Structure 1
């Protein structure tokens, strides 16, 4: 029961909400937020997004239950498999909404980012996910709202570089997920209504463009005068190597191995990507804080 409940709320996807901590990390002020208790605001914001996203997952799974039963992986989800009825799932969502309301009460001004995220994803669940290109844009905007909320909560300005990089990287990964739907469908089964607006060739081109611009934007960020002066180092460009290798590996997983359905699952199982990400984090942390 507990395991199925955790699957229902997609607790493994809560890691995505760590994005609220990124603005302060990249600003070089991560240590300072512990001194003035600003970390408290980010922790509350993190859990607010966690509970909001879990409610959305339950609503989305309830809407898509018939289509999910045709999917080789999604058919194992708690509602699609029949472990939870829709009524039981909505009861859990109601409990989560009560907890979310408490967190929203504590958030003060940054509440509007979570509310906007919630409304956007409600619209996504009922309508926008059925419109090609708009669907992946909504996913990307969700990540962007997390980033903006994290910066706003503690007074850190989110730069145009981070905005561009986060949005385009999210678009790239979202396109890769759509590619997975096209590669696993059988007998012309429609797993998503937006599939009619996609083809594997189109997605590969769109994904390649987004990843390419992401890499270019990151390199420009790492060598910009503003960033060099703020962080006090002109060696940040060396971290671009790991960004490039990481993108190449993800493209390989998507195009060669046809396994781009779940970014969280990919990252949790692919040692190559884990090592690249770890090296990038360590090197970036060294340049900013040491």
Structure 2
């Protein structure tokens, strides 16, 4: 006969593993996947029911795929993470989440993500499969190679931005692709710059950081920021004005201020976790809201 106490003690480790699994999947970082909405929004098609449904499938697919990647990445890095002052508390590194469970769930999440992509559009499924393959290669090898590491992470952001367009079968503007590409590089180079400042003498826990310098990473993120602004401005100038008010052109102002506001954190070396900046910086949130309103007005009035 199984007593209530025995059932409770047996269930506790299972609940602990489940909580650890949720932590390792990092749902807090799903905010990055909102980039999936960018292409349908820029094209002014997000209000269409079919486009919205396809975009939602792409968004959920990337949320699941990114969580699968986090599980694989933490599994590959578990030994190095144990030597890190904060990463040693991660579920896999600390031993709370068993490696077989993490790998098994990662495989399931990856398959479901590709399946959702297939429901939306075969091209989206191919993109998700390519994203997973590249990120697995990154976890086990490419993350240790300078330049390749920031290029792969930036490509991940770019894939998110392209995903919405593929899912809804929308034509992607060349300027949109440039904004997404250089913007991604700006964020990733800023992240590495901040990590270099944060880790200091502990930079050896990420081998690629040892090969970077402050001046090199500053050159990369500042160049990428300038290219992002120019590309966005050229995209905005090309958009039609329906009611005579150039809302897309006006949106350049909040876009620029948001870029500069984020650059403050990059320059201070506090942009190692971009999602934390998005969650805590109220001014950046306000600028983002103003930018979104101006872009939506531009779409609705044309």
Instruction: Provide the TM-score with structure 2 as the length reference.
Output: 0.86
Match of 1:149 among 146, 151, 163: 163
Contact 2:241–2:298 (CA under 8 A) maintained in structure 1? no
Aligned partners of 2:98, 2:243: CA distance in 1, in Å? Answer: 52
Distance 1:281 1:108 in 2: 27
- Which residue does the alignment assign to 2:207? 193
Aligned to 1:99: 112
Compare 88-97 and 159-168 and name the one that shifted more: 88-97
**2:220 aligned residue:** 206
Structure 2, unpaired ranges of 5+: 1-15
Counterpart in the other structure of 1:243: 255
CA contact (8 A) 2:78 2:93 kept: yes
CA RMSD of aligned residues (A): 2.1
CA distance in 2, matches of 1:192, 1:65: 12
Residue 27 of structure 2: aligned partner: 11
What is the aligned partner in structure 1 of residue 13 from structure 2?
A: none
The equivalences for 1:1-290 within 5 A come to 1=16, 2-31=18-47, 33-34=48-49, 37-100=50-113, 102-110=115-123, 111-187=125-201, 189-224=203-238, 227-228=239-240, 234-256=246-268, 258-290=269-301
Separation in structure 2 between the aligned mates of residue 20 and residue 48 of structure 1, nearest angstrom: 10
- Higher gyration radius (CA): 2
CA contact (8 A) 2:113 2:128 kept: no
Q: Compared with structure 1, are the counterparts of its residues 138 and 97 closer, same or farther at alpha carbon in structure 2 (3 Å cutoff)?
A: closer
What's 2:8 paired with? none
- 1:131 deviates by 1.1
Asked if 1 retains the 8 angstrom alpha-carbon contact of 2:65 and 2:128, the reply is yes
Q: Per-residue deviation at 1:98?
A: 4.6
Shift of 1:148: 2.3
Deviation of 1:230 (Å): 8.7
Deviation of the 1:144 alpha carbon: 1.8
In structure 1, C-alpha distance between the alignment counterparts of 2:111 and 2:233, rounded to whole Å: 43
C-alpha contact 2:247 2:295 (8 A) present in aligned 1: no
User: If the length of structure 1 is used for normalisation, what is the TM-score?
Assistant: 0.90
Equivalenced residues, count: 284
Note the residue ranges of structure 1 that are not aligned, 5 or more in a row. none
- Structure 1 counterpart SS, 2:171: coil
Deviation (angstroms), 1:81: 2.7
Residue 265 of structure 1, CA deviation = 1.0
Which position in structure 1 is the counterpart of 2:5? none
State the distance in 2 between where 1:26 and 1:231 align: 18
The answer to whether the 8 A contact 1:222-1:237 is kept is yes
Which string of whole-angstrom CA distances, capped at 9 and with x for unpartnered residues, describes residues 61-96 of structure 1? 111112223334323321123321212322322432
CA distance in 2, matches of 1:24, 1:180: 32
CA distance in 1, matches of 2:244, 2:33: 29
